[in-house]
Amino acid sequence: MRHNGNSGPVTLDARFLRSDGASILCEFTVTDMIDDPVVESFVVNAQVSTALLDARNRIDFLALHDSRTGLLNRDGFMKHARDLIAPGSGLGILLIDVVKFRSVNELYGEPVGDAVLAEIATRIDQIRWPDLVTARFGADEFVVALRADHEDALDELRDRVERDLALPISVGVHEVNVSIRTATAFEPRPRELDALLVNVSNELTGIKRHSEADRPGISHQAIDERRRQLDQLRGALADGAIQPHFQPIVDRDGTVLAVEALVRWLRPQRATLGVRDILPLAQLAGLAEAVDDQVLELSLDFARELAAGGYPHIKVHVNVDPKVIAQPAFGGSFLKRCLGAGADPSQIVVEITENDLLAPGPAALANMQQLRVAGTRVSIDDFGTGYSSLAHLLELPVDGVKIDQRFVAGIDVDPAATNLTTAIIGLSESLRLECVAEGVEQPYQVKRLAQLGCKAFQGWLFSPAVPGDEIFAMLPRLDPTVKENVEPSPAPTT
């Protein structure tokens, strides 16, 4: 109730409940007009005050929350985090700093930077953990408070945050990668929140000082150089300088069974760039899908040329981005592109990395099945490096696996790598899956892998990725190079 003076009107708010359970806020103004010779009574005016309620709620919200991300602000954090201090429980603080966030605004503009901050806040806020309070303290700094009995819980939370924030952030046509620094402080018997905040802030300052010594700040020259590289990539796409090279997949005797399409950036008078150089730039420029589309189109053309040249049995492996295969229309679109290019779908093998198949959604699974019905095979790339168990193979609609090159390199050197490789080959054989060992560089690796039952090999021991016309020159069989006295050239980044 609000009273405006001794003889003035009195204002009060009242909330009414409707029959459907919804509430209505009304504002009443009561004016004393008893002494008025005409009225001789109290006059009551009433109006629905939805806008007033919304405004008051908004004011209350903004007092404790950050307007850009919706997380608690510093005041809100201090209010809620103090409630976590309880006898018999510890309190941990996790401070999260987005590294070089200013460069995101410089490269993409502030609207993209705001969207990146909002997505970071969402990922942090979506972590479900008992007794957790999250907030944004500054432009690029977030803080989390956790009530826990042991510091191990804080370490687990830190690992979870670092893992979730390591994933790229999609904003429109842009795919932004951010990196973070984290610091923690824990007290088993906390008394004051301020002391913990000082400790964790000091730790982060030390981490920043150390990392800045190793990594200088992003200068305007560096940003200009990156923009120049992005412009060059756009030009390369338009000029046809982004092309696939093809690395043979062979049997032990060198007979070519298939080829894998690997993206290359052909630069006159300069070194050709591979996927590890192209992909980060393509993601920054929002061109990753355009690069993949161009490589796929040219790979389908090459499959048609192989068939026309008398080699329809030689498969062409293409890598497909997980976000693309999860699109409901991908299966039909892919097969339509095969038809348009004159390529037989049964000549194509779609490769998806194991991590991307950890939890495929219904659309991805349906697309994989649609491809397989049409004759296109699906293979798991880099198998053994992700989170899948070997039993996961039983659940996936796939036709083959490729043993990651790190395990091939460790064959008969690292017992764990040897055991895992043996298990993958054995399970593939029992499930009738094609098994390819990639990254083969030494003759003894071929010999040992063949003894274990592997029948297909890919690596620099046989050939690097080369242009399509060079593949034709080496068909149908590579010159035998699998000899004990052969020393392969060092493998480049693929």
CA neighbor of 438 nearest in space, from 334, 375, 354: 354
- Which sequence spans correspond to the domains of the chain? 2-58, 65-216, 221-474
Q: Which residues contact 88 (CB under 8 A, 6 or more apart)?
A: none
Predicted confidence at residue 14, as pLDDT, reads 76
Tens digits of per-residue pLDDT, 148-200? Answer: 888 888 888 888 898 888 888 888 767 788 888 899 999 988 888 888 888 88
CA neighbor of 97 nearest in space, from 51, 143, 44, 57: 143
Query: What integer best gives the mean pLDDT of the chain?
Result: 82
Predicted confidence at residue 153, as pLDDT, reads 87
Specify the pTM. Answer: 0.59
Query: Three-class SS string for 302-322?
Result: HHHHHHHCCCCCCEEEEECCH
Work out the average pLDDT over 215-236: 71
Judge whether residue 462 has pLDDT over 70: yes
Question: Do 136 and 66 meet the contact criterion of CB atoms below 8 Å apart?
Answer: yes
pLDDT band of residue 479 (cuts 50, 70, 90) is: low
Structure tokens at 465: 């990725």
Cα–Cα dist 359/357, whole Å: 5
Cα–Cα dist 474/352, whole Å: 27
Predicted confidence at residue 480, as pLDDT, reads 46
Helix 362-373 and helix 330-341, axial crossing angle in degrees, nearest 10: 30
pLDDT band of residue 211 (cuts 50, 70, 90) is: low
DSSP bridge pairs for 352: 380
Judge whether residue 460 has pLDDT over 50: yes
Judge whether residue 408 has pLDDT over 80: yes
Highest mean pLDDT pick, 29-33, 436-440, 480-484: 436-440
Predicted confidence at residue 57, as pLDDT, reads 61
Predicted confidence at residue 307, as pLDDT, reads 95
Judge whether residue 473 has pLDDT over 50: yes
Question: Do 221-474 and 65-216 have the same topology in CATH?
Answer: no
CATH superfamily of 65-216: Reverse transcriptase/Diguanylate cyclase domain (3.30.70.270)
Which of the following CATH numbers is that of domain 221-474: 3.20.20.450, 3.20.20.30, 3.40.50.300, 3.40.50.2300? 3.20.20.450
Among 3-12, 121-130, 167-176, 185-194, the least confident range: 3-12
Among 8-12, 18-22, 33-37, 101-105, the least confident range: 18-22
Q: Which residues contact 24 (CB under 8 A, 6 or more apart)?
A: 15, 16, 17, 18, 48, 50
Tens digits of per-residue pLDDT, 380-406? Answer: 887 765 544 566 677 788 999 999 888
**Percentage of the chain exceeding pLDDT 70:** 84
Highest mean pLDDT pick, 45-49, 211-215, 229-233, 305-309: 305-309
DSSP bridge pairs for 426: none
Question: Do 154 and 269 meet the contact criterion of CB atoms below 8 Å apart?
Answer: no
Q: Where are the alpha helices (DSSP H) in 309-402?
A: 322-325, 330-341, 362-373
Is 487 exposed, middle or buried, given 0-12, 13-18 or 19+ CB atoms closer than 10 A?
exposed
Work out the average pLDDT over 101-126: 83
Predicted confidence at residue 467, as pLDDT, reads 94
Peptide bond into 464 cis (omega under 30): no
Work out the average pLDDT over 314-333: 91
Measured between its terminal Cα atoms, the distance across the chain in Å is 73
Judge whether residue 6 has pLDDT over 70: no
DSSP label of 402? E
Residue with tokens 């009414």: 16
Judge whether residue 107 has pLDDT over 80: no
Work out the average pLDDT over 294-310: 96
pLDDT band of residue 245 (cuts 50, 70, 90) is: very high
Judge whether residue 261 has pLDDT over 90: yes
Predicted confidence at residue 220, as pLDDT, reads 61
Judge whether residue 470 has pLDDT over 90: yes
Cα–Cα dist 94/86, whole Å: 18
Work out the average pLDDT over 331-343: 95
Cα–Cα dist 457/259, whole Å: 11
Judge whether residue 362 has pLDDT over 90: no
Judge whether residue 410 has pLDDT over 50: yes
Judge whether residue 433 has pLDDT over 50: yes
Predicted confidence at residue 452, as pLDDT, reads 93
pLDDT band of residue 376 (cuts 50, 70, 90) is: very high
Highest mean pLDDT pick, 260-269, 291-300, 352-361, 409-418: 291-300
The DSSP H or E segment spanning 163 is helix 151-165
pLDDT band of residue 17 (cuts 50, 70, 90) is: confident
**Percentage of the chain exceeding pLDDT 90:** 32
pLDDT band of residue 216 (cuts 50, 70, 90) is: very low
Tens digits of per-residue pLDDT, 51-99? Answer: 555 556 666 666 788 878 888 888 889 888 888 887 778 898 999 998 8
The residue with greater pLDDT, 220 or 296, is 296
